[in-house]
Structure 1
């Protein structure tokens, strides 16, 4: 059974990721099957998450998981340790006495409960459920501005924390913050706020100079060495990398030129892109850097399967720089004019079509759990569907390793 799983970050007030909601479904071949929905969901949840490992999917943070009414009554959530999950009660579940008793049972066992997609003018009476749930997820798209501001004030249980979900803009985040919400979910953190005239700090242009030289047909290693040698931070990070366990050093590398030779041009492109993004992301949410790395690695793995193995490093940079407009707070088109990226990569990032357009769209569709688009794009690219979840989890794993190896946090 092919299982597709993605994740969406949940932030606290300081924009630190405290949990992820896991988005999942079975493979395309099961989409129109006659199997009972509860049984299918049960198989996905137990087989997929237990096989892959919740910790691998969330980096050790809590996982918000949707459970149907039947699965809650059958106490399927208890398969997972209470420290690792938040049980989401779907908005279409009628809160009758059987549901209340099942939730009470979970609560007594120490599970955190969340009411999903709450709408202020819901047809259901949630008063008994309000006494049990720890978190109410308020749908910012389906509630009016007035209602989403008043919900935290009108629900009397002071122990409940409110999560604003489907928050898509910085303005909505600020509104939720002012209204008393504790947690925030959506893609607001990845939307650029353009500040006219903001430039790349001068010392960071060394990264661009190295990238430009590496991308020439006949790179000048002496020039690359000279640029890095004049930048203490770059020199330190490069030597630290080649001496790390990731490169299994047989002997000490005592010069920048030897370090460059050990790394090789393809790895140099990736390393320079990674270091540049890390420095630019210092005052931004950590999740931006994580998301960029996941996109980069996911794209690199997929490139191999669509006949672009020789351009993997370019696809890696495409994913890496896909958030650079957010980091620099400038229009993406303006920034890309000054980066040594191929026209195909630029076109894909700007949505102009081209050779890598469908690949980039697939990466974005998968991370958002837009499964219909995922299946359609996979078909266009002639990628076996079963490879997608494997590559995505590999990308998560690799990103966690990079963060631990390079102290990016």
Structure 2
């Protein structure tokens, strides 16, 4: 199934794009059809961040996203990056104490707050102290009303955005009145972006990969993540209690496993099992190849002057085919995956030491001996050691996959 998001550019006074409003769409038809505003915004966020990729949609510019009263109260915007998102507060949001508190928190977090379809009345005033931008609908206001809004609000810390600018006359009038930003059909209609949907279970495991690889992940948080997914915790305990580990006493809980193995080892195993679950609908060889690369990278690290980098090289190999498993471009997946920069560069094909390791491993698995020998010599690796390391990686992979 395809998913869709429309984007409409927002321009500055020099007519340069400075952001995009992201809009809900159900199809390639450029119109909004949705009775549930909460669902529309939730879909826009899921499709933008998890499927299409925010960078692909906005090119690094700020994304303007509409939020309903209910979503503001539940704190949904606080889960998004403040430097990438402007929170648009819809005109029908009640200006109650709960909403004021939510806006205060968003402001403290560094979000840009935008009041949508602004009109001057007693109800609108409570949120003005938090607003960075006020949006004025040029299609549904007269020139006199627009001037009145600017006169009432003033040009202090608040900037004005003219939306639904349909003609050059509208644009020139907004310029003359001191507007900072402009949006409407005079510049561009919303452009629909689409991609193939990803099954919910894959999104769940992708979120687990994102969470578990955060640099600030601690003991308690990791334990909670594993417990939250029955399949993950079951497979983790089953594997840790297998002959591959050889523990004399049975590991009975994820907390017990954390104590026995340590946080870094558990992160590795959780990532491995989550990726394995992601691969359920793909040919077995894709996962097999990924795990062999991961283990081989881990084994070869101390042989090539990268002792201490074993975990990084394991993750690099493990994620080397994640784009195939999820059906998304590698750049989109890695944008939200908190792994180290060297690993990201390697997976994106950018020159770095880790990329050289990955190239060497791929060359060995493809029997591209000329390339393998060149990189092995560069790393100072005794080429005669590689067959034994590869066999060890293969045996380790087979043990994991049969448990």
Return the TM-score normalized by structure 2: 0.49
Return the TM-score normalized by structure 1: 0.48
